[in-house]
Amino acid sequence: MNLNQNLQEVIAKAFGIAPNDVTDELEYQSIPEWDSVSHLVLVTELEAAYGITIDMEDVLTMGSVAKVRELLKKYNVEAAA
């Protein structure tokens, strides 16, 4: 599984949606599944999957899948495809 597929799986698991539904255009509160609670679940899943600790300032900027990809690069996780 490449990093892009892995990221899709992590995000899908956090929101309880199909991996195919995870696109760069997916944004916070654009689907009912991505609310404030699941946003924190996403943070936890990302931290566990990639062995990182995400700063609170960064948590607040994770408003889309595209932003999550950018953020992971900051933490030296190459998930962009």
Mapping DSSP onto H, E and C, the string for the chain reads CCHHHHHHHHHHHHHCCCHHHCCCCCECCCCCCCCHHHHHHHHHHHHHHHCCCCCHHHHHHCCEHHHHHHHHHHCCCCCCC
pTM: 0.90
CATH 1.10.1200.10 fits 3-74, yes or no: yes
Largest CA-CA distance found in the chain, in angstroms, rounded: 30
Query: Within the chain, which residues score under 50 in pLDDT?
Result: 80-81
Write the burial class of residue 11 (CB in 10 Å: 0-12 exposed, 13-18 middle, 19+ buried): buried
pLDDT at residue 12, rounded to an integer: 97
